[in-house]
Structure 1
Amino acid sequence: MKRTHLPLNGLRVLDAAARHLSFTKAADELAVTPAAVGQQIRALEDMLGVVLFRRTPKGLELTPEADKGLDALRAGFLQFEESVRAMQSGQTSNSLTIAAPRDFTAKWLTAKLAQYGGANPDLQFTLISADGEIDFTEANLDVAVRLAEGPGELEGVRLGAAGSFIRVGAPEGGSKTPISWPGCPVADGEATLRLGDAGLAIDAAAIGLGEAVVPYLLAAADIDSGRVRAMDNSREHPLAYWLVAPLPQWRQKKVKALVEALTG
C-alpha cells in the first residue's frame, strides 16, 4: 500500500504548540524562532486544508479539527520513539562481524581480539576471511580490515605505524632469495619465491627459504619471539592496514569501542 507523505516537521511543531498553546514556548522547546513555528503551522494548515489554531482574547486555542487528531498524533510519536530505541539496541549488541585478510587475522587480529574479549566476556566475534575490496551491501559486516593506501570512500583509521614495512629472514641465517607476495612484489625479472600473502612470506622466511619485506605490524610478534630476525630497520611504504566501515556502521557504539581497543 502506498503511504501518504507525512509532513513530520510540521506535525512535530503542531504537537509542541498544542501542548504549550503558545508559539513562543513551542519555539523555545524546538530551538527555533516563533516565526518559524508560525510558518510550519501555516504550511501544515495549507496542506491539510483545515485551521489548526485560533487566536482569542484568552490566547491561542486549538480548533476541533486539530484536537481530534492529537491523540493519534502523539501515539504515533511514541511509536516512533519505540522504533528508534529498537534500532539503537543493535548498537549495544554483543556481536561483532569483522572481515580481514587471513594472514592479518592470524598474525595480529586474533591476539588483539582475545585481549579485548578477555576484558569484555560478553562479546562475540565472527571473523570472515576477505582480501581486497569489501562489499558491505552484500555482507552483514560491522567493520573490515584492508591493506591499502587509505580508507577510500569509507570511514577508517590506520592500524599501526604509517606505512611501516620491514625485511625479515631466518634467525640463524638462510637463503637470500627475495620472497614476494601480492602486496609487496619485487622487481620484474628477479628470481623470487612467490607466495600468496605476507603471513606465508613471514613463515617462509622463518624456516630459511628467503627474505621478505612485510608489514611490521604482522611481523612484530615473530620478531619479538625470535622466530624471525629483522634484517634492517623498518621503512616507509604506501600500503598500511586500515580498519574501515561505511558511516552508519562506523557510528555504532560497539564499533567505536572496537576501534579504541585496536588503536589504543
Structure 2
Amino acid sequence: MKRTLLPLNGLRVLDAAARHLSFTRAADELAVTPAAVGQQIRALEDTLGVVLFRRTPKGLELTPEGARGLDALRAGFLQFEDSVRAMRQGQSSKRLTIAAPRDISRYWLLPRLAAYAATDGDFRFQLIAADEPLDFTEANVDLALRYAAEPDEAEGVALGKAEAVWVGAGERICWEGGHGGDIRLSVADAGLALEAAKKGLGRARVPRLLAEAAGMDWTEAEPARRRYWLLAPLPQWRQAKVKALVAALTG
C-alpha cells in the first residue's frame, strides 16, 4: 500500500504552536520567524482542509479539529526520537576495524593507534593486513589505509606528500618490480625493502612517509605516482567514530 506523504515540517510547527499557543514563541523554539510559522500553519490547513487555530481577544486558540490529532502526533514524534536514538547507538561503539599494509601499519599506524587508545580505555581495534583494494561491506571494515595513486570510488584523505626517497647505500633493492644488473635484492613490499636497507643490503626507493615514520635517514626525494591514503566509502565516512579517528591520525 502506498504511504501518504506526510507534511512533517508543518506538523512539527503545529506541535510547537499548540504547546505555546503563540506563533512568536513557537518561532523562537524552532529558530524561524513568526511569519514562517504562520505560513507553515496555513499550508498545513490547506493540506488537511481544516482550520487549526483561531485568534481570539485572549490570544491564539486551538480549534477542536487541531486538538483532535495532537496526542497521536506527539506520540509519533516521540517514536521518531526513539528511532533516531536507536540508529545512533552504533555511533557509540568504540570498536573499529582497519585494513592496512603491514609496513605502514608497523611504522606509522600502530604508534598513532596506541596514542589514540590511550585517550579512552574502551577503544577496541581490529587490524587487518590488506595491500589490495577490498570490499568494505563484505570485510566489515570501517577504514582502510592504502598506497595508491588516487582514492578511486572511496572518500579519501591523503597522508604526506606524493614523494619517494632513497634509503641505504649500494646496489638497488627492488620491491615494485623491475629488472636490471644493479638490483641486488627483490622483496615483496616497501617495508621489507626498508629493513633490507637498514641491514646494509643496498639502497631502496620507498615512500617518504614510510621512511620518516621508521626514522630512516634518506636522500634524493623525488615525485612519486602513489601516496598513502586513508579511505572509506561515504556511509562509513559519516560515522562519528571514523571521523574522530581520522582527525586523530591526521592532526
Q: CA–CA distance in 2 between the matches of 1:217 and 1:163?
A: 9
Judge conservation of contact 2:103–2:190 (CA < 8 Å) in 1: yes
Q: CA–CA distance in 2 between the matches of 1:4 and 1:65?
A: 20
> Offset at 1:25?
2.5
Match in the other structure for 2:167: 168
Match in the other structure for 2:143: 143
Does structure 1 residue 242 correspond to structure 2 residue 226? no
Q: CA–CA distance in 1 between the matches of 2:12 and 2:130?
A: 45
Q: CA–CA distance in 2 between the matches of 1:117 and 1:24?
A: 48
1:95 is aligned with what amino acid?
Answer: R
Kindly provide the CA deviation profile for residues 11-38 of structure 1, in whole angstroms up to 9, marking residues without a partner as x.
Answer: 1111111112222332232222333222
Q: CA–CA distance in 2 between the matches of 1:222 and 1:157?
A: 21
Match in the other structure for 2:29: 29
Q: CA–CA distance in 2 between the matches of 1:43 and 1:136?
A: 44
Kindly provide the CA deviation profile for residues 136-185 of structure 1, in whole angstroms up to 9, marking residues without a partner as x.
Answer: 444433222122345555544333x312421123xxx65x134132xxx6
Does structure 1 residue 92 correspond to structure 2 residue 92? yes
Does structure 1 residue 177 correspond to structure 2 residue 172? yes
Match in the other structure for 1:120: 120
Does structure 1 residue 196 correspond to structure 2 residue 201? no
Match in the other structure for 1:53: 53
1:70 is aligned with what amino acid?
Answer: L
Q: CA–CA distance in 2 between the matches of 1:68 and 1:197?
A: 71
Q: CA–CA distance in 2 between the matches of 1:16 and 1:134?
A: 48
Q: CA–CA distance in 2 between the matches of 1:72 and 1:38?
A: 22
Q: Secondary structure at the match of 1:141?
A: coil
Q: CA–CA distance in 2 between the matches of 1:138 and 1:47?
A: 45
> Offset at 1:67?
0.9
How many pairs were matched up? Answer: 249
- Return closer, same or farther for 1:153/1:39 CA change in 2, 3 Å cut-off: farther
Judge conservation of contact 1:179–1:210 (CA < 8 Å) in 2: no
1:217 is aligned with what amino acid?
Answer: L
Does structure 1 residue 254 correspond to structure 2 residue 241? yes
- Return closer, same or farther for 1:92/1:24 CA change in 2, 3 Å cut-off: same
Kindly provide the CA deviation profile for residues 162-217 of structure 1, in whole angstroms up to 9, marking residues without a partner as x.
Answer: 12421123xxx65x134132xxx65xx64545443212322343445543211132
Q: Secondary structure at the match of 2:188?
A: coil
Q: CA–CA distance in 1 between the matches of 2:119 and 2:39?
A: 53
Q: Secondary structure at the match of 2:69?
A: helix
Q: Report the TM-score, using the length of structure 2 for normalisation.
A: 0.82
Does structure 1 residue 66 correspond to structure 2 residue 66? yes
Unaligned runs of 5+ in 2: none
Question: Root-mean-square deviation (CA), in Å?
Answer: 2.9
1:22 is aligned with what amino acid?
Answer: S
Judge conservation of contact 1:94–1:122 (CA < 8 Å) in 2: yes
